[in-house]
Chains A and B, each alone.
Chain A
Amino acid sequence: MFAFTHQVLSGLAMGSVYASVALAIVMIYQATRLVNFAQGEMAMFSTYLAWAMIDAGLPYWVAFFLTVVISFVLGAAIERLVIRRFDGAPVLTVVIVFIGLLVIINSLAGWLFTYSIKSFESPFPETARFGAGYISPHEMGAIGVTLAMLALIYVFFRFTPLGLAMRAAAQNPLSARLVGISVGRMLAIGWGLAAAVGAVAGMMAAPIVYLDPNMMGGILLYGFAAALLGGIDNPWGAVIGGFLVGVLENIAGAYLVGAEIKLSVALAIIIGVLVARPSGLFGRVIVTRV
């Protein structure tokens, strides 16, 4: 029972990372109906920025918040400079552009920071004060940081005028434009927010999976699985999906398929959900008119 509880709890910790990545994917999907294949690499690059700042001597939390801000700016810049040029292009074109971004960011990270694996420090203490053995302090901290971030995002979208404007721009761009909302600016802010959320996910994941340019490949896959499981048009669903996928991954890895092929769990979830229930657990069923 001890081992099982441990598996579930550390699954929740990785689940919080997947939940953040899934949330970032859903935020962009809601605004543009596109899935950002470069989301993982953007998060990886942000994590490297944090590493460089910590390496240069900045205290962890200063580096943390600076990274979030810089990621926001970079994310908004990518939307403004690249993605906007492909507004209304066919799906194939946009997917290829996202893949282009993915490999550019990946090789940029390899170029600037080399391909050797780095360790990334955790801001949380080494030894646990309570719950020892069940969950490490970093895992508990990662869950806490994620929940705090989710609360902030909820407050932003629910209670601020800017959040309301962004929801309006995502739901009905035309009407939003008619009441004076700059939809383009909202899209850029949405991309920035998604990049910032991804950056937090990267910094929480790096002490567990270590830092290298390919660290986010698997995490992005679980993020996709989480977003699809929860329903790709429902942010809450994506977050719940993230925690569910984290726990499922750990239990399947420990008791069913073995840790070596854990990624195939994500593959199975993605294909299973898409085939059996494309709207996910909490998504709306969309009927297309032909």
Chain B
Amino acid sequence: MPDARPAATLEQAGPRRARVAAIGLALVCVLALPFAASGYQTFQFSQVVIYAIALLGLNLLTGFNGQISLGHGAFFGIGGYVAAILIVKFGVPYGVAIPIAGAVCFGAGFLFGLPALRLGGLYLALATFALAVATPQLLKFKAFDAYTGGVQGLLLSKPKAPLGLPLTRDQWLYFLCLGCAIPLFWAAANLVHSRIGRALVAIRDHPIAAETMGVDAALYKTTTFGISAAYTGVAGALMSLIVGFVSPDSFGLFLSLSLLVGIVVGGLASIPGVVVGALFIEFTPNIADRISDVLGESAKAMPWAIYGVLLILIMYAAPSGAAGAAKRVARAAQRLRGG
């Protein structure tokens, strides 16, 4: 049907222009943010950007490709440690250390993806859960103490803005995180809207049909695992840079689980959703902290109680998370306008 095509593009032109405008507006806000916010708030938003990168990686794997990972905190940790060791022990500049951390995590993810090929949904969840629980212990392993700093971890100094730019360290690090995030988001969006992206979704929804259509499921699945780990590893490297510290116990099971919470709240298989997820996992513990005066010591348990209840409620009532809810609101608004 050759006629159907132009009509469809015409219809899309309106929303498309609106979308470009929305992205442009968001970009301006995001760029202006560190000049309006305090140092600590800028630091928090850097963390949001970092979580968004990590969630994007996990969503490529779990949301789009349907491979469950409960252990992405491990790749976050590997990325953080590789960057920290390169910078502290070998004097590598951080601009070089970040991509190396990503590359190392790609390798680690690809290797973990090989046995994962033989594991269907539930078993992959089990294996990655085990990885998440065992990671802090592995990072403490005595034989690597000389490099990893053992239980104490490693201290890094926060880098200054280069070329005499009039930025504080926090502002510069924020832009560094953003500078990493934008190309990574662009690449991920292109990936999932391409032939490869359709193959990933096909493997998730119907592996046998996908293979019949000539999709090399094994190659796609292991490569996706690698790419996903690389994204999360870059996020880990950035985190160690902005926090200025890595230690084994910050990469435990609960980091992996909060990443899972992030993609579920934002929306499985949604790219804009990961930003919502990142905001959510960054600020929920903060808000809980702030009302801890009222609730006392029990406030420490609150964010996780909220996370748990939300996980179950979202799965029950709105499995597509915030992204799905936004789509439904937009559709309802269009209907009201008489669309």
Contact = CB atoms under 8 A, between A and B. Distances in A.
A105 B208 CA distance: 38
B137 A262 contact: yes
Nearest to A116: B297
B257 interface: yes
Interface stretch (A44-52, A59-67, A106-114): A106-114
B255 interface: no
A102 interface: yes
A90 B67 CA distance: 12
B315 A271 contact: no
B329 interface: no
B316 A103 contact: no
B115 A100 contact: no
Interface string B67-88: 0101000000000000000000
A162 interface: no
B235 interface: no
A91 B121 contact: yes
B62 interface: yes
A278 B118 CA distance: 9
Interface stretch (A1-9, A142-150, A216-224): A216-224
Interface in A84-136: 85-86, 89-93, 95-97, 99-108, 110-111, 114-115
Contact of B308 (A90, A102, A228): A102
B123 A274 contact: yes
Contacts of A221: 129-130, 133-134
Contacts of A85: 316
A274 B114 CA distance: 12
A270 B127 contact: yes
Contact of A108 (B62, B208, B305): B305
A264 interface: yes
B26 interface: no
Nearest to A265: B134
Interface residues of A, number: 49
Nearest to B302: A107
Interface stretch (B138-146, B189-197, B213-221, B275-283): B138-146
B119 to A, nearest CB: 6
B311 A97 contact: yes
Nearest to A214: B253
Given A96-B264, A97-B312, A261-B140, A103 B307 contact: yes
Given A221-B130, A228-B126, A271 B115 contact: yes
A96 B304 contact: no
Contact of B130 (A89, A96, A107, A266): A266
Nearest to B311: A100
B125 interface: yes
B324 interface: no
B309 A264 contact: no
Contacts of B302: 107, 111
A91 B119 CA distance: 13
A89 B298 CA distance: 34
A92 B134 contact: no
B319 interface: yes
Interface secondary structure of A, over-half rule: helix
B118 A92 contact: no
B301 interface: yes
B66 A224 contact: no
B80 to A, nearest CB: 19
Contacts of A274: 115, 118-119, 123, 126-127
Contacts of B138: 261, 264
A95 B70 contact: yes
Given A96-B315, A275-B115, A260 B309 contact: no
B260 interface: yes
B328 interface: no
Nearest to B204: A92
A237 B228 CA distance: 36
B22 interface: no
Contacts of B208: 290
Nearest to B136: A263
Interface in A267-290: 267, 270-271, 274-275, 278, 290
A100 B130 CA distance: 17
B122 A275 contact: no
Interface string A7-44: 00000000000000000000000000111010000000
B121 A92 contact: yes
Contact of A86 (B66, B121, B140, B316): B316
6 contacts: A95-B125, A101-B308, A114-B297, A221-B129, A225-B130, A261-B137
Given A91-B120, A224-B126, A263-B134, 13 more contacts: A35-B126, A92-B66, A95-B122, A99-B308, A101-B308, A107-B308, A217-B253, A224-B129, A225-B130, A266-B130, A267-B130, A274-B119, A275-B118
Interface of A: 33-35, 37, 82, 85-86, 89-93, 95-97, 99-108, 110-111, 114-115, 217-218, 221, 224-225, 228, 258, 260-264, 266-267, 270-271, 274-275, 278, 290
User: Which 6 pairs between the two chains have the least Cβ-Cβ distance?
Assistant: A100-B311, A104-B308, A91-B121, A107-B301, A107-B304, A103-B308
